[in-house]
């Protein structure tokens, strides 16, 4: 990338200032208790929660992976963002009030309260594996890959820079420091991302402006603006030159009626590093407002992370690998003097996501593994020490793994596919535990034990051309739900489970503002899918 002195200055100054801010906040907000470190003392306001949710969610797999998928598949990949908006509303309405009522630090803690310690431990281990070896690893890898394309750094140097950068605000200060730095970083990533899209569309229109460029793009690349893809409608070459049907990634109406719901409710409703922000809220009202704020931002994000990839497709960019698209757009369209800001947006996304995941790994390990099995009598100072050590260990293991993993084709899709092996079973355990009083512990552990073998069996015997991973999730979810029903009825008969939740209907009451905001989000989504059906 042709970085000017101004660009280099902006980029380096940004990294240094964020690192110093993280260290300053860590020492200023010196945690005294586990609640301070892991839940920010339950003091987070709505705007901090919403900003941190988006900063935690938007990372290299969106900026880099989703723009690569936009290049190959088009706007249809944005369904992950659009459907997430309505999912956030549902989570805020029905799931958050229960989690906050239970006064938990981690989601495995909730599972122990509802089922038993064995189910909790099984899920905690699954999450630790996913967060360290998939999320942290691939975010570091993709961030370092983009740094290599843009700045010419090696993969190893890129990973090292990102590890040091993320460590400055993810290890010592706990959740409050992570959230406060997220607020700064979400402004940078959205501003930098919008600037990238603006200049790309302006150039595409021949200087006629952003709106004209977007109109021209929808005409020139109209095949990339179909939100629902059917079999044989759109073909693309993967990074190995093999022709692939986009239906395998986004199988028709399953996007609206099937597996996309499983992926999104799992991610936004049962994911520790997402839910942890809401668990740190002052109260349920602040938590819900923060989640709704995040829902509106989700509708905006495809403009930032998908449209640049479609522009690259429309101009027939000479790109050998999908995940090089975003760096190519930065290099091709961003004026000298602004490249530093736009590239800082990518690093902001990487740093905020890594810090959030690392903090959640630390929380789960310290509370659900260490305190439960290793040192049940650990006091607050000792718990804080273990939390910081485990955070550093998670970052180090993820960095080492990032240096040895093979390069994935369309990283965003690869992450979704792999996570899809875990999400149906976890979601069944949570949904039945939350909303069905007969759900038994034996049924829950059976679901966890059978979930992965069943999913891998289907993926092995039925290739994606016959059974897309999104449809596979529906089948696994349905089978596991039946299993949960049958075993729970055998265990409890006509009685409720002895550990069933005692929930009053009043807990689901919401304000008029929340209802109005929910209707507005739904209306915007209906308009988008009607326009680009």
Q: In terms of DSSP H, where are the helices of 322-440?
A: 325-333, 339-364, 380-402, 411-419, 423-435
How many Å apart are CA 419 and CA 10, to the nearest integer? 36
HSE-CB for 365 with a 13 A CA cutoff? 22
Report residue 31 CA to chain centroid gap.
27
CB-CB contact of 402 with 140 (8 Å): yes
CA angle 36, 39, 44 (to 5 degrees): 100
Q: Write out the residue range of the structural domain in which residue 14 sits.
A: 5-18+46-412
**What is the reported pLDDT for 94?**
93
Is 418 part of a structural domain of the chain?
Answer: no
CA-to-CA dists, residue 85 to 385, 419, 507, angstroms? 37, 20, 22
How many Å apart are CA 3 and CA 347, to the nearest integer? 16
Query: How many CB atoms neighbour CB 486 within 10 A?
Result: 12
Is 203 part of a structural domain of the chain?
Answer: yes
Is 447 part of a structural domain of the chain?
Answer: no
Closest Cα to residue 358, out of 33, 38, 25, 142?
A: 38
Is 517 part of a structural domain of the chain?
Answer: no
Closest Cα to residue 84, out of 111, 60, 112, 54?
A: 54
CB-CB contact of 179 with 52 (8 Å): yes
**What is the reported pLDDT for 520?**
95
Is 428 part of a structural domain of the chain?
Answer: no
CB-CB contact of 90 with 265 (8 Å): yes
Q: Is 244 helix (H, G, I), strand (E, B) or coil?
A: strand
**What is the reported pLDDT for 365?**
93
Exposure string of 427-455, with b = 16+ CB inside 10 Å and e = fewer, is bbbbbbbbeebbbbbbbbbbbbeebeebb
pTM value?
Answer: 0.89
**What is the reported pLDDT for 348?**
78
CA angle 107, 113, 114 (to 5 degrees): 90
Place of tokens 């919008």: 194
CA-to-CA dists, residue 77 to 18, 32, 68, 253, angstroms? 31, 44, 10, 13
Is 491 part of a structural domain of the chain?
Answer: no
CA angle 223, 227, 230 (to 5 degrees): 75
Is 437 part of a structural domain of the chain?
Answer: no
Provide the total of helices (H) and of strands (E) in the chain, helices listed first: 26, 2
CA angle 462, 465, 468 (to 5 degrees): 75
CB-CB contact of 415 with 57 (8 Å): no
Q: In terms of DSSP H, where are the helices of 221-306?
A: 254-257, 259-269, 272-279, 284-305
**Each residue's pLDDT tens digit in the chain (533 positions)?**
567 888 888 888 888 888 888 888 777 766 667 777 777 678 889 998 998 888 878 776 677 778 888 888 999 999 999 999 999 999 999 999 999 888 888 888 899 999 999 889 988 998 899 889 888 888 888 888 778 777 778 888 989 989 888 888 777 777 777 788 878 878 888 888 899 899 999 999 998 888 999 999 999 999 899 999 888 888 887 766 778 888 888 898 888 888 899 999 998 999 887 888 888 888 999 999 999 999 999 999 999 989 999 999 999 888 767 777 888 888 888 888 788 888 887 787 788 788 888 888 998 999 899 988 898 888 888 988 898 899 999 999 999 998 887 655 555 666 777 888 889 999 999 999 999 999 999 999 999 999 999 999 999 899 888 899 899 999 999 999 999 999 999 999 888 999 998 888 888 999 999 999 999 999 999 999 998 87
CB-CB contact of 28 with 158 (8 Å): no
CB-CB contact of 476 with 451 (8 Å): yes
How many Å apart are CA 307 and CA 301, to the nearest integer? 10
Query: How many CB atoms neighbour CB 377 within 10 A?
Result: 6
Q: Return the CATH number at 225.
A: 1.20.1730.10
Non-local CB neighbours of 459 within 8 Å, separated by 6+ positions: 421, 467, 469, 472
**What is the reported pLDDT for 406?**
61
Non-local CB neighbours of 29 within 8 Å, separated by 6+ positions: 36, 173, 174, 176, 177, 180
Is 310 part of a structural domain of the chain?
Answer: yes
CB-CB contact of 196 with 308 (8 Å): yes
Rounded to a whole number of angstroms, the CA Rg of the chain reads 22
Q: How many domains does the chain have?
A: 1
Q: Is 227 helix (H, G, I), strand (E, B) or coil?
A: coil
């Amino acid at each position: 990338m042709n970085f000017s002195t101004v660009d280099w200055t902006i980029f380096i100054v940004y990294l240094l200032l964020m690192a110093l801010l993280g260290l300053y906040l860590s020492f200023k907000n010196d945690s005294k208790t586990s609640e301070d470190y892991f839940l920010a003392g339950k003091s987070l306001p709505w705007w901090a929660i919403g900003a941190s949710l988006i900063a935690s969610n938007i990372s290299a797999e969106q900026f880099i992976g989703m723009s690569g998928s936009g290049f190959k598949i088009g706007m249809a990949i944005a369904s992950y963002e659009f459907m997430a908006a309505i999912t956030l509303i549902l989570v805020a309405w029905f799931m958050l009030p229960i989690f906050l009522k239970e006064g938990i630090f981690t989601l495995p803690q909730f599972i122990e309260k509802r089922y038993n310690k064995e189910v909790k431990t099984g899920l905690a281990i699954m999450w630790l594996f996913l967060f360290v070896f998939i999320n942290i690893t691939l975010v570091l890898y993709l961030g370092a890959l983009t740094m290599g394309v843009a700045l010419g750094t090696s993969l190893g140097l890129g990973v090292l820079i990102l590890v040091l950068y993320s460590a400055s605000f993810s290890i010592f200060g706990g959740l409050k420091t992570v959230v406060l730095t997220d607020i700064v970083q979400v402004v940078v990533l959205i501003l930098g991302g919008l600037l990238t899209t603006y200049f790309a569309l302006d150039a595409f229109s021949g200087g006629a402006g952003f709106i004209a460029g977007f109109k021209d793009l929808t005409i020139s690349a109209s095949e990339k603006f179909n939100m629902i893809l059917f079999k044989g409608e759109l073909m693309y070459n993967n990074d190995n030159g093999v022709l692939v049907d986009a239906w395998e990634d986004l199988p028709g109406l399953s996007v609206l009626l099937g597996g996309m719901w499983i992926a999104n409710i799992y991610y936004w409703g049962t994911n520790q590093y997402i839910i942890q922000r809401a668990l740190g809220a002052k109260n349920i009202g602040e938590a819900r407002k923060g989640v709704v704020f995040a829902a509106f931002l989700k509708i905006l994000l495809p403009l930032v992370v998908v449209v640049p990839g479609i522009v690259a497709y429309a101009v027939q960019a000479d790109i050998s690998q999908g995940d090089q698209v975003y760096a190519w757009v930065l290099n091709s369209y961003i004026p000298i003097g602004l490249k530093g800001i736009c590239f800082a947006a990518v690093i902001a996304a990487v740093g905020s996501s890594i810090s959030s995941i690392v903090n959640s790994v630390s929380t789960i390990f310290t509370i659900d593994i260490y305190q439960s099995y290793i040192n049940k009598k650990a006091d607050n100072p000792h718990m804080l020490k273990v939390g910081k050590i485990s955070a550093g260990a998670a970052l180090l293991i993820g960095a080492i793994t990032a240096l040895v993993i093979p390069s994935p084709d369309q990283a965003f899709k690869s992450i979704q596919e792999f996570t899809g092996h875990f999400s149906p079973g976890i979601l069944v355990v949570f949904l039945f535990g939350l909303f069905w009083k007969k759900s038994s512990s034996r049924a829950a552990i059976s679901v966890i034990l059978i979930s992965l073998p069943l999913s891998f069996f289907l993926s092995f015997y039925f290739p994606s051309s016959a059974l897309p991973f999104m449809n596979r999730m529906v089948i696994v979810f349905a089978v596991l739900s039946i299993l949960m029903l049958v075993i729970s009825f055998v265990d409890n008969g006509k009685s409720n489970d002895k550990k069933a939740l005692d929930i009053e209907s009043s807990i689901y009451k919401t304000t008029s503002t929340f209802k109005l905001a929910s209707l507005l989000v739904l209306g915007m989504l209906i308009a988008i899918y009607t326009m680009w059906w």
